[in-house]
Structure formats: C-alpha cells, structure tokens
Chains A and B, each alone.
Chain A
Amino acid sequence: MATTAEATFVKPRKRRRSGLSERRLAAAMVSPSLIVILIVAAYPIIYAIWLSLHQYSVIHPGLSRWVGLDNYKDAVTSSSFWSAVKTTFVFTIISVSLELVIGMGMALLMHAAFFGRSVLRAVVLVPWAILTVGTAIMWRSIVAPDVGFFNQVLKALHLPGANTVWLAHNGYALAVMIFADVWKTAPFMALLLLAGLQVIPSDLYDAAKVDGATAWQRFVRITLPLLKPAILIALIFRTLDALRIFDLPYVLTRGSNGTTTLSLYAYQQLTDNRLIGPGSALSVLTFIIVMAVSLLYIRLAGDNLRTMAAES
C-alpha cells in the first residue's frame, strides 16, 4: 500500500488550474481531522504517561511528586494486576474463538439459506444493535436467581443448579460474561464472514462437486483458504474489542468473582480508589498490551497477505 501510494505520487503530472495545488488542498482537507485526533487522543495518551510517573496526594488535591517507574513496578508486582491480565485474556481467547465458530456457522447458514437470507440478516443485526449496557442488563436478568429464565428452565427440566446464583461464583460469572459477549458479537462476525463468502466464485464449488469432493473437503480446501482475509479482519476487530472490554463486567458484576478485566481494574483504581498515578500506569499498560496484540496481528495478517499475493 505504501509503495503504491508513493508510486502514484511521484508520477509527474503538471496541472495548471486555479485553486489550491493538490498537495496543499490535501493538507487542508486532512488537517482538521488530524488536529482533532491530536487533541482528543494523542495528547491525553502522553498526559496519561506523565500522570503515571507521579504520585498524587489523596488528601491534598493537586499535590504530586515524581516517582519514576514506581507505579509500574507496583503494578507488575501485584497479584491483582496479573489476575486482571489473566481474566482479560481468558475472556478474549474463549469469546473470540466461540464467536468465530458460531459466526462461521451463521454465515454459512445465511449463505445457503436462499429464502431466509434477508430475514436472517435483519435478525442477526438485532443483538448487534442493542447497547452493551443493555445486553449486560438483559443477561443479568436472564441468569438472575429464582426469577431468571435460565434457572426456570433448569427447574422445569429437573436439572441441577436451578438455585445457583450464577453471577456470584468464580468461573460461572466469567462464563455468563463470555456468553453475553458471544451473543452480542457473533452476528457481527457472521456478517463480515458472509461478505467474504459472497465473493467466492461458485464455479469453484461446482468443479469440486463434480470431482467428488465432500462438503467438508469443499469447506476446508476452498472456503477456508479463500475466506482467510475476511477471517483475519474479523478476528482483529473482535480481539481488540474484547481486550478493551469494560461495560459488560461493570454492569454484570462490578468486577466481582473473577471478572475484573484490565480496563475495569484501571478504572476502579482511578475512580473508586482515587489513585491517579497507579491507575494511569494501569491504563498505559492496558494501552501497551492492546497495541502489542494489534501489531502482532498486523504482522501475521501482513505475512498472510504477502504469501497470498505471491501465490496468485
């Protein structure tokens, strides 16, 4: 992409006309967005790093002193930090994997269901359109003890666990959180994958059928390889979202019972405990982790795209 952009740029083509030159027009058109981004994103991040290198007095607001990397040292030596890291990654890995599998199922279904497709496409957008806070409230009421739908079903079927307070147990609470996230975002995954499926030429499948390939073989040998770019994009989007998750655990459990994610932990330190220095250090660490994972993905995706380009 970089090379093509530069290549088109070097191409010498003199245009004589009134108005701004192309370069200056581009600068003028891009700068408002860049200025806004600098003010609301770049500056706060730098300020967060600055804050994280200080200790602030809880009693005397405004009083601070330079402590260097102490806040970071405290963070990485505390068990709460590592348990938040673990929760965040367990949540991310399980929910994104489930979303990929379920999303793939839904996408194949939508692709195959000729008459149901438009209905399905509208239906799967419903979970996506519901506020995350609303989703959390909804699942909280579904798994509520006694009156919740889930326990009612267990009771009716005489299954064990009908009296369990799901959100009050380690493990179950995280499972509810994962399920709520899968419910809300698997459809999004499905739509991205469906768009990928629709551009695979159908004669490839016809040829494979004539050659006697089974449905599974067709899926593994044709669908998956050709769908790889769409899968990668969907995975990047979802992974980065999952690593930042905040609203679900906040509304479901306020982070109790093993559901404190990195964002939530940093938030609690910042607002509930008013620890601006350590809280900022945690925010910066969260930022670094998310950035590192996205760079990793871009590397992976980059290699993949290059090999695909080489093959074609």
Chain B
Amino acid sequence: MSSQAVARGPARMRTRTRAQAGRRRTLRNQVLLWVGVVATILFCLFPFYWIINTSLKTGAELSQGSLFPHHPTLDNYSSIFQNSDFTTALRTSLIDAGAATLIALSIGSFAAYALARLRFPRKFLILAIVLSISTFPPIAIAAPLFKLWTDIGLYNTYLGLILPFLTFVLPLTIYILTSFFREIPKELEEAALVDGATHFQAFRKVVLPLAAPGLVTAGLLAFIFAWNEFLLSITLTSDPSRRPVSAAIAFFTGSSQFQIPIGTISAATVTITVPLIVLVVIFQKRIVAGLTAGALKG
C-alpha cells in the first residue's frame, strides 16, 4: 500500500509525457490485439474451411487444389446421403451416443447428488474410483470386451457399444453434475426437508429442476464424447449396420470404386461435424462451464 502512494507522486508530475507515450502504447497494443484475434480466427477456422472447400468440388477440380471451388456442387453430399452405409452409421451413432448419454444422465445424477450432498462413508474413495476410471486408456478394455462380447453375443450390437461408452461418459457426467449440485443453495433443500420431504423427494422435486442447466451441459458433453469415440467403435463392431459414423468415415470408399473418395469423405466429415458445431456454438457458455467445472475449485 505504501509503495503505491510513493509511486503516485512522481507519476503525477510526468503525466503529460506519460500520457502521450501511453496513448501510443495503447494504440500499438490495440493493433497487436486485433492481429492476434484475426490470426486466432484464421488458425481455428481455415482447416475447416479447406475441407468444406474440398467437399464442394468434384472430378477434375478436386485434383487442382484451388482455394475456392470454381464450380461449387452438392454432388458429394447427395452421394453420401444415397450411400446407405453412411445414413445407417448416422442413425447408429445417434442411437449409441444418445442412449449412453441418457443412461449416464439418469444414473449419474443419482450418484452425483449423493456425492455432492449426502453424508456417507468412503465418499472420497468412490469419487477417486469414478475419476480414475475416466483416465483409462480405451485400448485396455478393448481386447477383453472384444472377447467377452463375441462370447456372449454383444459383438456388433447397439448395447455392445453403449455399455463401453459409459466408461468415459458416466464419470464425466458424475463429475460435472456433482459440481453443479454443489452450487445449488443448500437452504432450498433444507426448507423442503423441514417441510417433511425425504431426501429423495428433495432431490427429485427441488434439486433436479434447478440443475436443469447442468443436465443440459453434462448431456451435451457426454453426447459429443460418445459421438467422437473411435477405438472401441472399430474394435467392437464390423458390420456396417452397427458401425457408428466415426468408424464409418474412416473406412469410407466413395460411391463408386473408381471415384477418388476425398470429395465424398470431406462431405461426410462436414456433415457429421456441422450439427456439433451448431450445438457447441449455441450452448458455448454452458459447455465452457462444464469443461471448466471443478477445475478452479482445486
């Protein structure tokens, strides 16, 4: 405090020159700032632009690599939607990722509430188990699940992917929801408890409705992570009718065997990405809150 007061004295005497230098400096900083902003936007968006650009080209234009499509066409898009493998894979992904998300939200919200609010022994151990599961490398469970699933008939099924998706989707959901539940003021529940509600009623009627934004965030992130999954998807399915879209586009081979599939692959990539980008941009605040949940509370 005292050093501030000392510094203020001489500063006032040199106000004019300082102000001029300062103005020049702020101008320079402003320019640098905007250069940085533009550079960041280009860095983030250009690669995606490039694949959109590729997806709008066909035939000879594909091999020219120009920055703009001179004859933009949606042929690649119509061809992937005529490809039943691709549309089936889209449906499979919606089913797998959607079901994993719903299951994780329903059982995860119970666990998260208990972890956030109830007093019970070995709470820390359970939290530690949940968190350590999320660090599992999927390869470690891929081989045993492959063997297990072929033995009990879950290979090439929806359930055969939904269950392993839960290994990473469920810890994520529990983690996010626990931090959301902690932020809901305790007084509201306590009021309900005083009025004679049970803990479970307090959870269902008071906490859950208030945690709706948290459920949306956790659900979105869970869905995105499951939609993204690749290793388990290619290990536990081989049938195109049960392969999710991430696995399908990696093995995409165009609509005819003579066509170079880069155009259609690009179109498929754009198609499965755009819905996610739209969702992410609409819910950006919630997603950032979910991604950073707990990260700052140590």
Q: Give the B-binding residues of A (Cβ under 8 A).
A: 1-2, 5-6, 8-9, 11, 15, 17-20, 22-23, 25-30, 32-34, 36-37, 39-41, 43-45, 47-48, 51, 105-106, 109, 112-113, 116, 119-134, 137-139, 141-142, 144, 146-149, 151-152, 183, 187-188, 191-192, 195-196, 199, 207, 210-212, 229-230, 233-234, 240, 243-244, 246-247, 250-251, 262-263, 266-267, 270-271, 276, 279-280, 283-284, 286-287, 290-291, 294, 305
Nearest-neighbour CB distance to chain A for B280, whole angstroms, equals: 4
Answer whether A48 and B65 are a contact pair too, CB < 8 Å, given A29-B118, A122-B281, A271-B235.
Answer: no
Structural contact, B37 and A229, CB atoms closer than 8 A: no
Structural contact, A36 and B166, CB atoms closer than 8 A: yes
Interface centre among A34, A41, A137, A152, by most chain B C-beta atoms within 10 angstroms, is A41
Which bracket fits the contact residues of B?
35 or more
User: Please, how many angstroms separate the alpha-carbon atoms of A186 and B120 in the complex?
Assistant: 39
Q: Which residue of A lies closest to B125 (CB)?
A: A2
Q: Which residue of B lies closest to A127 (CB)?
A: B44
- Convert B106-139 into 0s and 1s, putting 1 for each residue whose CB lies closer than 8 angstroms to a CB of A: 0110110111001111011011011011011111
Nearest-neighbour CB distance to chain B for A175, whole angstroms, equals: 16
- Not counting A23-B120, A131-B228, A132-B230, a sample of 16 additional A-B residue pairs whose C-beta atoms are within 8 angstroms of each other reads A9-B119, A17-B193, A32-B110, A32-B111, A36-B166, A39-B163, A40-B163, A43-B144, A126-B277, A133-B250, A137-B265, A147-B62, A229-B296, A267-B235, A276-B143, A286-B139
The 4 closest A-B pairs by CB, nearest first: A19-B198, A147-B65, A26-B120, A47-B144
Q: Give the A-binding residues of B (Cβ under 8 A).
A: 3-4, 7-8, 11, 33-34, 36-37, 40-41, 43-45, 47-48, 50-51, 54, 62-65, 67, 103, 107-108, 110-111, 113-115, 118-121, 123-124, 126-127, 129-130, 132-133, 135-148, 163-164, 166-167, 170-171, 174, 193, 196, 198-201, 224, 227-228, 230-231, 235, 246, 249-250, 262, 265-266, 269, 272-273, 276-277, 279-281, 284, 287-288, 291-292, 295-296, 298
Structural contact, B295 and A146, CB atoms closer than 8 A: no
User: Please, how many angstroms separate the alpha-carbon atoms of A243 and B295 in the complex?
Assistant: 21
Nearest-neighbour CB distance to chain B for A128, whole angstroms, equals: 7
A residues within 8 A CB of B118? 22-23, 25-26, 29
User: Please, how many angstroms separate the alpha-carbon atoms of A146 and B269 in the complex?
Assistant: 21
Structural contact, B144 and A105, CB atoms closer than 8 A: no
Structural contact, B140 and A45, CB atoms closer than 8 A: yes
Nearest-neighbour CB distance to chain A for B106, whole angstroms, equals: 8
Structural contact, B231 and A246, CB atoms closer than 8 A: yes
B residues within 8 A CB of A263? 137-139, 231
Structural contact, A123 and B36, CB atoms closer than 8 A: no
Show 11 A/B contacts (Cβ-Cβ < 8 Å), sorted by A: A20-B198, A41-B167, A48-B144, A123-B44, A131-B246, A141-B262, A195-B292, A195-B295, A196-B295, A210-B8, A283-B139
Answer whether A294 and B143 are a contact pair too, CB < 8 Å, given A29-B113, A123-B45, A131-B269.
Answer: no
Interface centre among A48, A131, A286, by most chain B C-beta atoms within 10 angstroms, is A131
